Structure formats: structure tokens, C-alpha cells
Structure 1
Amino acid sequence: RLALSSKGKGVDVLVMTATPIPRTLVLTCFGDMDVSRLTDKPAGRKPITTVSVSLDRLEETIGRIGSAVADGQKVYWVCPLVEESEKIDLAAVEDRHRVLEQALRQRISLVHGRMNADEKDAAMQAFKSGETRVLVATTVIEVGVDVPDATIMVIEHAERFGLAQLHQLRGRVGRGDKPSSCVLLYKGPLGETAGARLNIMRQTNDGFLIAEEDLKLRGGGEILGTRQSGIPGFRIARAEDHADLMEVARDDARLILETDPELKSERGTALRCLLYLFGRDEAIRLLRAG
């Protein structure tokens, strides 16, 4: 984004997202991004019913998917990044594809990142046209995939995914006028944070609310840096709890920059010293990236 915005003078940047990452959300607290919320779904869209199911009930889940497919529904089945190894990830998704083909006794589409563009397009086209009713995939389908008559999303090992990614994946269904469902398959026992993530997904379809909960769970990362999660370098302030004070501080900072842009006054000199002490002098330009 920095590279694009530096290609001309006075470049306007519009950032669009279903779920802001915590760092982006924190930037909005500082007034470095103006926020517009689109709170309504397109006309005719139905809410997505989200449930969490233990992987111990995998066979039962596959059976229900079989019934749904027999009833004419289309299903996504997403496999996670199991290891930091493309070979192992590939084996996991191919294994699930093979198991589902045997269990459902029909051809199933497969999409993953190591396929070439033509292979991926052919698999997606078969799914879109109804030639296949189930698509097994890695997270390559997270964005840019639109099959309005797909109504079920199964996310395997949902506890491995972050909230924003879960919400993006769930957004592949519920794009038509039919009721849709999202099944979060998890392997227990769940840790406290993973359990909280799945609870939030069950409770709401609101992307901004999910982003705010993600901020509480993951932290906003570095404001003047590149780390996108974790606890920021504040001693006291918490963006999710002190939004009103952040607004006061932001207005004060804006006033200082308008009245003393070179930070040469007594207070400006003190602020310049603080920026230096906290190592923020070199990182300020990153704010402009969003």
C-alpha cells in the first residue's frame, strides 16, 4: 500500500475488508484511517447458521453432508495448514478428498495452492456448474470465490484458524437466497483462546464485531511497526477499553501538529525526545501504509 500511495501526490487509498486485522483496527483508533461500516447484507441474503462439532463425530458429519448433497446442496470442505510443509498440507487435503469420494461415492472437486491455474479453474468450474457438488480445498478459496448456490461450509480443525480467516471462509456461503450453514470441526480439548474464537463465530455474523473480539484476543500488534498481532507497546492504555481517551489524545496530537509541525516548541521538543526514546522516529512512515 505504501508503494502504491507513493506513486503520485495526494493519492487517496481505499482499504476494503470483511474483517479488519487487529492492527488495522487499532489504526482506526488513532484516526489514521477514516472508517465506513457497511452493516447490512445485500438484499435477499439469509443469515449463516454456525455450529461447532468435535472431530470425534466426523463420520456422522460426513453422513449429514451426504444427505445434504443428495438433497441438491453444494458443499465446501476446507482443510487447514497442518504443518509448515507444503507436502504434508497437500497430503492432508488429498487424503480428505479421497475419503470423501469413497464415502459419498461420487466425484468431488479438489483445489489447492500447488495446482496450476488451469487445473484450479477446471475444478472450480465443475463445482459451479453442478457437475460436482462438493469442493475440497485449502484456504486458497478464502477470497475471490463466488458460487451463490453453495450453502454449506465445513472447516476442518477450525481451532487452527484465526477469527478473520474463519469469517472470510464462512463468507463463501450465504451468498444466495437459500439458508446456509457453517460447520466448525474441532479437535478437543480446546484451549481458552481457541474456544473463545469458536464461540464468537457461533454468536455473530458481524465482521466488525468479530474484528473487535479478535483485537481483544490477539492484541493489536505494533502501531509503528510491522507486527500485526500481540500486545502493543503501551504501559497502561488498551485500545479496546480506552477508545474515548484515544480520541482525546488523537485530537491533542492533531492540534500539536497544526500549531507546531516541526516540534520546536518546549512541548514539541519533549515529544521529539519521547519519539526518540521509544524508537519511533524511524517507524513513523509505516503509519501511512494502513
Structure 2
Amino acid sequence: MDALYRQIVQDIRGRIEAGELRPGDRVPSARALVRDWGVAIATATKAHAALQEEGLTVARPGVGTVVAGPAPRRDHELTRGRIVEAAIEIADTDGMAELSMRHIASRLGVSTMSLYRHVPSREELILAMIDSAIGELPLPARHPLGWRAGVELCARLEWAAFQRHPWLAPTMSLNRPQMAPNAMRLSEWVMAAFDGTRVPLPDRMYIQVLIFSFVRGVASGLEPEADAIRDSGLTADQWIETQTEVLTAVMNDGGMPHFRALTTQPFDFDLAQLFEFGLARLLDGLEPFIASFAAPPPATAPS
């Protein structure tokens, strides 16, 4: 019993020190320890007591045993910005599936109901998260020379933001876009990149939506990939190695000469490469379209 409870304590202590478990995060309950370690409830309870004695964990009513951190803040010290920041941290680390008012309250050390005085609903919280994340884009006050440089810069800043926040792309709606002020400023910045050209405003907006939709579409694969790594412990490269036998069997049975030939050539499919390839092709395709607005109107024949 002593050896087992010490192993449990050492395991949880290591996860805390490695940052896998952060202040406010729940640690495995006694029942979970019994199930996962195959120990008696008395051993699991002793491990919990030892962690609390070391000051590594604390018991919070209604929440459970969590990693100890800064002293809980009083409800009146809460701000909307602090709530949004905590929500983004949770979504970045654990994914949107783990985001809840209860989880945020536990991280901040406050009551769940106190959050609603600052953020009345989940929808409003998500809107604030989107606005905060998009607001991180360091769009320069002065545009680069030429529309292409400006559009490319914006696309790359969007891609970087989606990588920092994998939840962001699938959370943003295209058909019913959230009215986030910073997202609207982003569209304004892209439309201004065409100042000095004859491109009409509606076409400028279509271009902004087209580029954003492309970047968002590619980035929508980031959160599922992060979830898959958390769940399986395998990176994309490691996972594809496990599929080699199945892929070979399908190609052999289906008579797929192009796929078989592709496997003999350098080809590395990842989202970053897809982003680079697609962005270049989109910008190349826009070049003649933008140039068409620079041509003078055709001369009319004399009557």
C-alpha cells in the first residue's frame, strides 16, 4: 500500500511540475485512482491527503480536488477581461469541448454564478474570445506597397492566430459571422489594401471573405489534430505510419496507379504546406482580376 500510494503521489506531482496539470485543474478523484491504478479506496484517499499536505492540491466544495495555485480571488475582483483570458487559456490548452463556466470559475477560484455578472451567456463569452484573439493580429497602421503584399500579410497573420488558438477557426461562422469589432476592423484593413485601384468595394469585400474562408478552412483542421494528439498520444506522422498497411491494401485492390506513383515521390501532406500552396494559387488567380480594373475603358467607334 505504501509503495502504491507513493507512486500515485509521484505521478501526480510530476504532472503538476511538468505543467500538464495547472493551478485550478482537477486532479483524478479517489474513484478514478481506484479504477486506473487498481488500488483500494484507502490507498487513493491516502495519496490525496499526501498531496494536500505537500500543498500541491486543495479540495474545493462542488468542484473536487484541484491543483493549488494563487489564493482564490474574491468575486468582486473579477473583470470581464480576466474571465475572457481564462476562457482562452482553457480553450487553447484543452479545446472548446472542455470550456465551461464551471471550469473557468475553478481556474479563477470564484463561484460559477459570479461569472454571469460580467458575461451573461456562453454566446457572449465566445464572441468576446473571438474578438480578443483577432485583436492580437499586429496589423500595421500603414499598408505594404501593393494590394498583393497587403492581402498576403493579412492571410499570414490570420494563419498565425489560428495556430495559436486552434479553437478559433471552427468557432467563427461564415454564413452568420459574429459581430466582433476586431474582426470588422480586419475586413476594413483588407479593403483598404486596394485603395489606389479601381476595384469596387463589393469586390474588395468578396476578396476579403474568400481569403479568410481559405485560411479558416485549412485552419479548421488544427483543433481536431490537437484533440487527436491528446487522445492518442500520436503525432500526425506517427499516425500515418500506422495506416501504411491499410493504404497499401486499398491501392492494390483498387488499381490506383496515381496513388501508387505518388507514394514513390516526395510528398508530405501537412496543413502548413497546404496553406502555402493554396495562398500562392489564390493570389496568382487574383492578379489578372485586379489588373482588369486598371485597363482604360475601350474607345467607342466614331458614329
TM-score, length-normalised on structure 1?
Answer: 0.24
Larger Rg: 1 or 2?
2
Asked which structure has the greater RCO (Cα within 8 Å, sep 6+), the reply is 1
Higher share in helix: 2
